Amino acid sequence: MGWLETFIFEFERTFITGNRWMLFADGIRVTLVLSLFSVLLGLLIGILLALGKLSKFKLLQWVCDLYIDVIRGTPTMVQLLIIYFVIFASINIDRQIVAVIAFGINSSAYVAEIIRGGILSVNKGQTEAGRSLGLTGTQTMTHIVMPQAIKNILPALGNEFIVLVKETAVIGYIAKIDLTAAALTVQAKTYSYVMPLLSIAVIYYVIIKILTILLRKLENRLRASDVR
C-alpha cells in the first residue's frame, strides 16, 4: 500500500467512518466556547486586579499582588484540578463551567499585568488634562486613559487569548469534551495515533492562524487614526 492509499485509508477511518468528524466538530465548538467565556471572565477579573494594583490602598495592592503571584506561580492544570476536585468537590456543577472558572482565573493574573502596563504606558499628562477639564477619576480613566491603553495592550491581550485556546487542551483531566478528547476517542477506536493527533494539530494551527489574522486586522483598524 502506497503512502497515498495509506493516507486515504487513515483519513476515512478517522473522519468518515461512523461520522467521526462530528467528534472533532464538537471539540472545536467546545474549545472556542470555553476560550471565549474564559477570556471574558479573565478580562473582567484582570481589570479589577489591575485597578486594585494601581490604587492607593496598600492592603488592596497587597491582596492583588498575592493573587497574581500565586496564580502565575502554579500550573494551569493544577489549578483546574484543585478547583474541580477540591473547591467544587461537593457541588454538582457542569464541568464546562468549572473549566471556564479555572481558565478565567488563570488568565486574569496575566491580563491584570497586561492592563496595568497599558495604563501606565499612557502619559500622566492625559490624566491631569482630564482632571483639569472637571472629569472625575473614573471618567478620566474610562474616557481618556483606557481608550489609549487598549491600543497598547491589544496585541498582548490577543496573544493571551491565543495561549488560552491552546491551554484548554488540559480540560481532558476533568472532562473529555474538547479537541484532544475527540482525537483520543478516535484513537481508541482505530488504534492509530498518527492521523487523529496530526489532525488536531492542524486544526489548532488553523484556528490560531485565523485568530491571529483577525486580531491583526482589529489592531490595524484601531491604529488607523494614529499619526506616525
Q: Is it the case that residue 31 has pLDDT exceeding 70?
A: yes
Return the CA Rg of the chain.
Answer: 22
| Percent of the chain as helix, strand, coil, to the nearest 5 | 85, 0, 15
pLDDT, residue 18, reads 82
The DSSP output letter for 168 is G
Backbone phi, psi, residue 150, to 5°: -60, -40
Closest alpha carbon to 51 in 4, 3, 119, 143: 119
What pTM does this model have? 0.83
The DSSP output letter for 110 is H
Average pLDDT value for the chain: 85
Q: How far apart are CA 210 and CA 208, in angstroms?
A: 5
pLDDT tens, position by position, 170-185: 887 777 778 888 888 8
Contact 107, 38 (CB under 8 A): yes
What is the amino acid identity at position 138? T
Beta strands in 25-114 (DSSP E): none
pLDDT tens, position by position, 92-147: 888 889 999 999 999 999 999 998 888 888 777 777 777 777 777 777 777 777 77
